[in-house]
Structure 1
Amino acid sequence: MKRKHIDYFDFLRGLAIIFVVFNHSYSADPMSDGLIDMIYLLIRQIVTCAVPIFLAQSAFFLSKKNFVNKSEYFSYLKSHSLRIWIPMVIWSLPLFFIKDHHNYIGSFIYMLIGGYSIYYFIPLIIQFYVLQPVYKRFARNWGVVILFVINAIYVAVDNYIVSFKGVRLSLFFECAPFVMWVVYPAIGYYIGTNGRDYKLWPWYLLAFASLCMSVLEARALYPYQGEGLGVTKISSMIFSISTLFILFSSKLEISLKNSTCTYQTIVDVGKISFGIYLIHKYFLEFAVKNIIFDTAGRTVVTMILSVLLIISVKKTIHTKIAEKIGFR
């Protein structure tokens, strides 16, 4: 039986993709004491929860799936992996032809595994599809705690290597390994299994405290190597986990649905969030960054251009072709 579609999860996707675009549009000075720069730094720390939201949401829905046998599981794995992998390859191809290559075969393979731009997220999500049976059994109380510890150790080591030692890792090699994000799908599984009705005040307190720590930690780390703004901080991890419990709560869903206009706009954005993810960096890198220097301005213009292109393409070409390139 097909489950009823809940538009609140489109809202979460819409929120997360706006966070992603803001993250990539960030242009402020994190060390400045100016009001605008401080506000942008605060928002920059808030939006670190974008990828965790996407991962937890995928896991939330996977927690509801009960595969009757291995054949059904592998069929699901294949269809869902190809559904996101094919559009990634299509949108990576222009970058492949633009770049200079020392080794064409190596570069082509790197493209196929999601090595270009921000496409590390595709192999990352496929890894979590593969790990579905493990999460199904493991994402319980102590299992979540163990995964948090593993995640925290990995993040601490990564933070030390990158922020203190100045070792430069490509986005793919730093962020594609599942261990960098291993706790967030566990949260999605946990909420999917145990329900969305729980007390929110402890999570609000933890989110506030960890966000303050994240801002302070970012300002402390940035002078070393110009790093420390992203999710690879323990404080950002704790903030993201707290935010997941807040956002996935049924109580918050009820309150947010009351602000109809804003809510519905973000829901509509969420429905095309995958397409925005695939194309927004093209607009940002090749056009917007060269003419707009303010973070909010870049975010708004990039979002508008991405949404307009997706809507235009969906109205122009056949639905199946639009879906193949990631415009659903």
Structure 2
Amino acid sequence: MKKHWHYIDFLRVLACFLVIANHTVKDSFIGYNMDFSATLGMAYLTFSKIAVPIFLMISGALLFEREEDYLSVWKKRILPLAAVIILFSLFVYIFIEKREFSLISWVASMIHEPAFVAYWYLYTLMGIYVMLPILQKLVHALKETDFKYLLTIWFVIMACLPFLGAWHLFPFVSPYFVLPVLTPEIGFLFLGYYLTHIQENRKSIRFYAIVLCVTMILCYFYNIFETKHFGSFTLLLDRACVWSSVILAICVFQIVYQLYETKTLSIKFNQIMYYIGETTFGIYLIHGITLWLCIPIQTYLLNIGNRLLGVVLYSFVIFAFSYILVRLLAIIPLFKRLFHVRGSRRLLENE
């Protein structure tokens, strides 16, 4: 039996929760007074931006481990993902937007833009799957020095220079200067594979914890400075591929990876993470619908006194509600397959 990587389950659950946090924090603080709660909320938002990087790093760690032929990728990945996009776009079009159905209009709208803003990730994932067989061959031909060169270039040019350019500390790079093959998303895929399969000399958990804390402190004070400088939030850190998101994602990935490598966490905890982790794709798909259904709960929680506490509680409510819905829908074979829910199993200690 192929070894199951328990740390992936934990990262999936964390990233899924942070996706929900990202979609609840911003609207809860933008436009409100910059009190202590709001500045902490913006730091929370900054940390939540690691959700997509973590998901992409997981994909890189798992997808680049193998080589798949073109027919297999289309059959097992591209067509099922297309079915998910079609089904959920149709649901939003008819039941949430309540538009009069027109096949041409619906197809055009689905191709043009995601039904929910959060579904942009499905379109990105579709593009990755289309190129996956080529990327797998490319990754397996690279040496450790190649990865270090590629990731350094990616971090400097894509994660740092745009941020510096926004502050006029570095000229904006010409749009004609592009990095063939390398995109922000592909960079995270390479990073996940490198950290899992290539990197040998890792720093200690304490080192990554210190870097994480220092980065969060910098982000906290930066958000305050940005607000005072511009008069409002401009959210230059509100991006998946920016220096803060990359550093935080690496630290979280490394800490979780090493915690599991040293068998710090219990078997029971691993079982719980596996059971929740297999529902994260489904939670991601329906959390937008859950947010729409739970607006009265959001209004109540944001007015309980402490807005930050209300936002955190609301994120947990949405996560829990979405999890329950996924488990209920997964009783139906179609949704079980769409959500990639395989059913729980006993995780053995020697697995």
Report deviation, 1:268: 2.2
Against the structure 1 CA distance between its residues 18 and 197, is the aligned structure 2 distance closer, same or farther, given a 3 Å change threshold? farther
Q: In the TM superposition, what whole-angstrom CA distance separates every residue of 1:185-222 from its partner, at most 9, and x where no partner exists?
A: 11112123325772234433332222222223333345
Give SS of 1:19's match: helix
> Please, which of 248, 251, 262 is the counterpart of residue 239 of structure 1?
248
Residue 76 (structure 1) aligned with residue 73 (structure 2):
yes
Report deviation, 1:256: 4.8
| Equivalent residue, structure 1, for 2:46 | 45
> Please, which of 142, 145, 154 is the counterpart of residue 147 of structure 1?
154
Report if aligned partners of 1:90, 1:325 keep a CA contact under 8 Å in 2: no
| Equivalent residue, structure 1, for 2:318 | 302
- RMSD of Structure 2 on Structure 1 (CA): 3.3
Q: Distance in 2 between the 1:113 and 1:265 partners? A: 39
The within-5 A match list for 1:124-143 is 124-129=124-129, 130-131=131-132, 132-133=135-136, 134-137=138-141, 140-143=147-150
Report deviation, 1:313: 1.9
Against the structure 1 CA distance between its residues 225 and 206, is the aligned structure 2 distance closer, same or farther, given a 3 Å change threshold? closer
Q: Distance in 2 between the 1:104 and 1:226 partners? A: 39
| Equivalent residue, structure 2, for 1:227 | 235
One-letter identity of the residue aligned with 1:212: I
Report deviation, 1:61: 1.1
> Please, which of 279, 291, 295 is the counterpart of residue 284 of structure 1?
291
| Equivalent residue, structure 1, for 2:348 | none
The within-5 A match list for 1:1-328 is 3-26=2-25, 27-28=28-29, 32-34=34-36, 36-67=37-68, 72-97=69-94, 98-99=96-97, 105=104, 108-112=107-111, 115-117=114-116, 118-129=118-129, 130-131=131-132, 132-133=135-136, 134-137=138-141, 140-152=147-159, 155-156=162-163, 179-194=183-198, 198-200=202-204, 201-222=206-227, 223-224=231-232, 226-228=234-236, 230-231=238-239, 233-247=242-256, 249-254=257-262, 256-258=264-266, 260-261=268-269, 264-288=271-295, 289-293=298-302, 294-315=310-331, 317=332, 319=333, 321-326=334-339, 328=341
Q: Unpaired segments of 5 or more residues in structure 2?
A: 169-180, 303-309, 342-351
Report if aligned partners of 1:48, 1:236 keep a CA contact under 8 Å in 2: yes
Q: Distance in 1 between the 2:167 and 2:86 partners? A: 33
Task: State which structure, 1 or 2, has the greater radius of gyration over its C-alpha atoms.
Answer: 2
* Residue-pair matches, total: 301
Report if aligned partners of 1:64, 1:192 keep a CA contact under 8 Å in 2: no
One-letter identity of the residue aligned with 1:237: V
Report deviation, 1:51: 0.8
Report if aligned partners of 2:60, 2:193 keep a CA contact under 8 Å in 1: yes
TM-score with structure 2 setting the length: 0.73
One-letter identity of the residue aligned with 2:247: I
Q: In the TM superposition, what whole-angstrom CA distance separates every residue of 1:13-51 from its partner, at most 9, and x where no partner exists?
A: 1111111111212124686333x4444333322221111
Structure 1, 297-306 or 208-217: larger mean CA deviation: 208-217
Report deviation, 1:10: 1.4
Report if aligned partners of 1:147, 1:186 keep a CA contact under 8 Å in 2: no
Q: In the TM superposition, what whole-angstrom CA distance separates every residue of 1:95-153 from its partner, at most 9, and x where no partner exists?
A: 2234469x984663342466221111112123333152344445612122122233225
One-letter identity of the residue aligned with 1:272: T
Give SS of 1:181's match: helix
One-letter identity of the residue aligned with 1:60: A
Q: Distance in 1 between the 2:202 and 2:166 partners? A: 33
Report if aligned partners of 2:15, 2:55 keep a CA contact under 8 Å in 1: yes
Report if aligned partners of 1:20, 1:50 keep a CA contact under 8 Å in 2: yes
Report if aligned partners of 2:85, 2:122 keep a CA contact under 8 Å in 1: yes
Give SS of 2:202's match: coil
Report if aligned partners of 1:148, 1:182 keep a CA contact under 8 Å in 2: no
Give SS of 2:294's match: helix
Q: Unpaired segments of 5 or more residues in structure 1?
A: 162-176
Against the structure 1 CA distance between its residues 40 and 156, is the aligned structure 2 distance closer, same or farther, given a 3 Å change threshold? closer
Q: Distance in 1 between the 2:274 and 2:326 partners? A: 15
